[in-house]
Amino acid sequence: MTLTVLAYERYIRVVHARVIDFSWSWRAITYIWLYSLAWTGAPLLGWNHYTLEKHGLGCSVDWRSKEPSDASFVLFFFLGCLVAPVGIMAYCYGHILYAIRMFRRCLMQLFCVHLLRFKRSLKERPAMGNNKPIRPIVMSQKPGDRPKKKVTFSSSSIIFIITSDDTQQIDDYTKYTDTKINVIQVKPL
């Protein structure tokens, strides 16, 4: 019954987006205990009875009795303490899974729309007229030498800068007017 109430609580929180307060929790615990006491107290009041189990290690209700009152208790116990709780849990978790698959489709649609807008804005921006600074990602160099190649990127493209002059500074894209520097710019698709 505790697992059933936990499933219902999660169902209320996820599917209906309600907040469960502290008083609800105490009432739920009280109902769980009363429900359990009703089922465990019924054999003490005469509806079925407790007997030693087969191995004699513990007491349990008499599962093998053929009397109608004992058989009815076992049937209702099965329905009330197994079938109904498992059914409620299946219903609650099924709706939670359905809601998560929907709360995921919506998220993916939202993400894809923003991604398409971002790609569209990248295509519409001019690559060469960008005033934003270029940050280096990878520089290939030998120990003690100045960089000969530099891969950089701006907000709209990737730029490969190749120079054959070891003394040439390649720190700023706006300084690349010398013929010793080759600039290859790759725009995103």
User: Would you kindly state where each structural domain of the chain is located, as residue ranges?
Assistant: 2-124, 135-186
Looking at residue 138, its pLDDT comes to: 46
Looking at residue 83, its pLDDT comes to: 97
CB 155 within 8 A of CB 127: no
Looking at residue 174, its pLDDT comes to: 43
Looking at residue 189, its pLDDT comes to: 45
CB 150 within 8 A of CB 172: no
Looking at residue 6, its pLDDT comes to: 94
Percent of the chain, pLDDT > 70? 63
Taking only Cα atoms into account, the Rg of the chain, rounded to an integer number of angstroms, comes to 36
Is 0.85 topped by the overall pTM?
no
* CA-based nearest residue to 157, from 116, 117, 126: 126
- Sign of the Cα pseudo-torsion (167, 169, 175, 176, in order): positive
Regarding the domain with residue range 2-124, which homologous superfamily does it belong to in the CATH classification? Rhodopsin 7-helix transmembrane proteins (1.20.1070.10)
Q: What is the mean pLDDT of the chain?
A: 76
